[in-house]
Amino acid sequence: MRNGGGRVITYYGEGDGKTTAALGHAVRAAGQDRKVIIFHFLKGRKNVGEYIYFQRNCDNIEVHLCGRPEFFIPGSDPKPYIEDIENCMSQIEEIIKNNKCDMLILDEILYAIEYNMVSTRKLLEILSRRGDMHVILTGGKITDEVKNISDIITEMKEIHHHYKHDRETIEGLDY
């Protein structure tokens, strides 16, 4: 077993750092010549730092955007996002079925579950076939079912964030 049995790692909560932690694992895996595939759910912007960096510099990290340029706002129409998400879920099924990577990162998928765009049951069905592949899940809320399959769970809790005060996002820090 090249990957030690395929772990599920979940980063969730309302604090900053979930995606950043997942991407740290991607860099670590890539450094060990592992193939990493990342799906950013509810995100479609190509001007974010990690997307730009991985596209330019990392042959063994592949990035897919499953959303629109603007992040999904709860209460807005989910229909445009659902088509993107369904397409990505089909790709994820194929990746797992054909064992196309060592690490699969499903960034913000827990938000897609929370907003009823992905069913927990469908996700667990797909992940049950992951074999030796590591999978990292991120998002806001964790379901009991996701807790039960996770080997590592870390909750990110916001104590203070500059955005709440100045409403500014900073290039290279926040995106």
Q: Determine how many CB atoms are found less than 10 A away from the CB of residue 94.
A: 10
Please enumerate in sequence order all residues whose Cβ is within 8 A of that of 32, keeping only pairs 6 or more positions apart, or say none. none
pLDDT in tens, 92-132: 999 999 999 999 999 999 999 999 999 999 999 999 999 99
Of the candidates 99, 93, 119, 75, the residue with the CA atom closest to the CA atom of residue 39 = 93
Torsion, CA 24, CA 28, CA 29, CA 35, rounded to 10:
70
pLDDT, residue 170, reads 67
Name the fold adopted by 8-166.
Answer: Rossmann fold (3.40.50)
pLDDT, residue 68, reads 83
pLDDT, residue 173, reads 63
Read off the amino acid at residue 132: D
Q: What is the pTM of this model?
A: 0.91
pLDDT, residue 3, reads 65
Residues in the chain with pLDDT values less than 50: none
pLDDT, residue 62, reads 96
